[in-house]
Amino acid sequence: MPLLQANKISYQFDNGALLFKQLSCTLNQRRVGLIGRNGIGKSLLSQILTKTVMPTEGTVALHTSVASYSQLPSELLSSESTIAQYLKLDHILDALTQIESGDCNQKWFDIVGEQWQLRQALSNELAALGLPNNPDFPCQQLSGGQLARLQLWRLFKSQTGLLVLDEPSNHLDSQAREWLLQQIRDYPQAILLISHDRQLLREMEHIWELSSLGLTEYGGNYDFYRRQKDLETDAIERQVVSVQKQQKHLAQQAQLNRERAEQRAAQGNKIRKQGGQPKILLNGMRSRATAAASNRLKNETSRKDLLQAKAQDLQARQERLKPQKMHLNEGNQSGSKLVSMIHAQLPAGSTQPITLQLSAKARLRLSGRNGCGKSTLLHVIAGRQNLVGGEMRVNASVFYLDQHFGLLDESRSMLDNMMLFCAGLQESDARTLLAGIGFRRDRVFRLVEQLSGGEKMKLAMLVVGHQAESPLLLLDEPDNHLDLDSKRLLACTLQAYQGAFVLVSHDDEFVAECGVSEEYQLK
């Protein structure tokens, strides 16, 4: 029996907007990856499939137990729960404390059972996870990465029939990602993974892609899916070329038919003037010619409309499949040394003195475990925080871009942001640039606060790429909430960027695609 079945489900918002309709799927495999562009409805679809949210139409049959991990901020951030309370082990630890204090009440022994080593075992496991080894540590004081790891650890220990993991690798450092990868491999039950992490998606047996065209299933992991998408793109391009040839041939044939009809009409008029044929015969010939011309025109029009509809459908699919490209100014950056740090001491994170120099062509990856001070170092270079010791000089304009692209003014439109941050840019040029990344006509007036993560990224990089000088980019996990297409676009854009950048990212594949040439690790 399949773990779940969905039959013709649709979801419509209260304002009448339709998110998706008539989707059907069956989950039989142990490992399924759900992918799609930001805002397409992946998280909501998973909630419908697990019966957390009801569809507007259609039915879902669920035949197993379910537990979920959400990328949304955890309720633990606002609670007073300790790690032990979250893991529901606090009552056993309390019983051990009572017994150790000399209370021999039988109820404490019943609660403990055989778990006499729980306190030490739990401390050891927490330490191995990179978490505070004190079970009474408040959850609200954990970092984002630690909190994610704690939640995921509890899920993997649950042995639930189906785990739904929504962007589980966000906020995890490299070591935590390796731990997550191993947990997914070892988990004996089924997993539905919503992710843009290609390393995790390669562990899946099946890929489901949610798009404006519906839900498409691919019978393999991410690499198989990517090959199939490339083949699909090539096939559509060939079909577009074929339809264009047919349209051209139809137009040429229609022109030839018109010329022949005009020649026949001219000959008929000449014969009529000469008077050599009976009038009734000539009228019959003209009626037949008119009827034939009318039928031919109807066929041509029908064929033309059919080809036009096919061309529009193919072009829409081609537009959805083809990767976008972003054109940046070449720019320039004066000075050979943009940043020079000597025995610099950060106000938070690593206590190790930092000696670092960045040249005008630097492409540096900043690495290290969660909490080591990577973001703090970027804030210091950007002038947002001060060193507590050592020296630093910055001889460049600096743009700081985090995962939310806070550089942008959320209350302004995309067009206004371009005009605000790109000195000397004409409105017509700004519109042309925005059209190049998919924002045409009135879409340029959309407020930044209404944009998805991928859309903000494209706008931010467009702003950065059209400065008088190529600024030093400080990129703090900019790929964290991007879909696969947006992540590939950002990597290609950074690879083509003429200036220097410092990148924080835990995605090794993304880092390599960005053209990073050196690495600095914070201890």
pLDDT score at 99: 87
pLDDT score at 281: 57
pLDDT in tens, 385-425: 999 999 999 998 898 988 778 889 989 999 999 999 988 88
pLDDT score at 73: 60
- What average pLDDT does the structure give for the chain? 85
pLDDT band at 271 (very low <50, low <70, confident <90, very high): low
The Cα-based distances of 502 to 70, 402, 488, 494 in angstroms read 29, 12, 18, 11
Place of tokens 């793109």: 233
| Number of Cβ within a 10 Å radius of residue 459 | 25
pLDDT score at 297: 74
pLDDT score at 514: 92
pLDDT score at 130: 85
pLDDT score at 485: 84
Q: Quick one: tokens of 442?
A: 């009135």
* Exposure on the CB side of residue 395, measured as CA atoms within 13 A: 14
Strand pairing category for 214-218 and 206-211: antiparallel
Q: Which helix (H) or strand (E) holds 144?
A: helix 144-158
CATH of 4-81+138-220, one of 3.40.50.10470, 3.30.1360.170, 3.40.47.40, 3.40.50.300: 3.40.50.300
Complete edge-to-edge strand list for the sheet that includes strand 389-394: 354-359, 337-345, 389-394
**For residues 256-282, average pLDDT:** 65
pLDDT in tens, 115-163: 889 889 999 999 888 888 889 999 888 877 888 899 999 999 988 999 9
Contact call for residues 233 and 243 (beta carbons, < 8 A): no
Determine what percent of the chain is predicted with pLDDT higher than 90.
Answer: 36
pLDDT in tens, 289-340: 666 667 777 777 777 778 787 777 777 666 666 666 666 665 555 557 899 9
pLDDT score at 283: 60
pLDDT band at 280 (very low <50, low <70, confident <90, very high): low
Is it true that 4-81+138-220 and 337-521 share their CATH fold? yes
Q: What is the spatial distance between Cα 293 and Cα 453, in angstroms, rounded to a whole number?
A: 56
pLDDT band at 16 (very low <50, low <70, confident <90, very high): confident
Which residues are CB-neighbours of 14 under 8 A, at least 6 positions away? none
Residue type, 333: Q
Contact call for residues 163 and 187 (beta carbons, < 8 A): yes
Reference 171, options 36, 78, 80, 69; nearest CA is: 69
pLDDT band at 369 (very low <50, low <70, confident <90, very high): confident
pLDDT score at 79: 78
pLDDT score at 309: 79
Q: What sign does the CA torsion over 491, 492, 493, 494 have? A: positive
pLDDT band at 17 (very low <50, low <70, confident <90, very high): confident
pLDDT score at 392: 93
* pTM for the full predicted model: 0.77
pLDDT in tens, 48-105: 999 999 999 999 999 999 999 986 666 777 778 899 999 999 899 898 888 888 888 8
pLDDT score at 334: 54
pLDDT band at 212 (very low <50, low <70, confident <90, very high): confident
All structural domains of the chain with their residue ranges: 4-81+138-220, 84-137, 239-321, 337-521
pLDDT band at 489 (very low <50, low <70, confident <90, very high): confident
Q: Does domain 337-521 have CATH number 3.40.605.10?
A: no
Of the candidate ranges 14-28, 65-79, 272-286, 486-500, the one whose mean pLDDT is the lowest = 272-286
The Cα-based distances of 245 to 236, 252, 296, 300 in angstroms read 14, 11, 20, 15
Q: What is the spatial distance between Cα 481 and Cα 170, in angstroms, rounded to a whole number?
A: 8
Q: Quick one: tokens of 484?
A: 């696969």
Place of tokens 């700081």: 400
Strand pairing category for 31-35 and 57-62: unpaired
pLDDT in tens, 424-477: 889 999 998 888 877 888 889 999 888 877 788 888 888 888 887 788 999 998
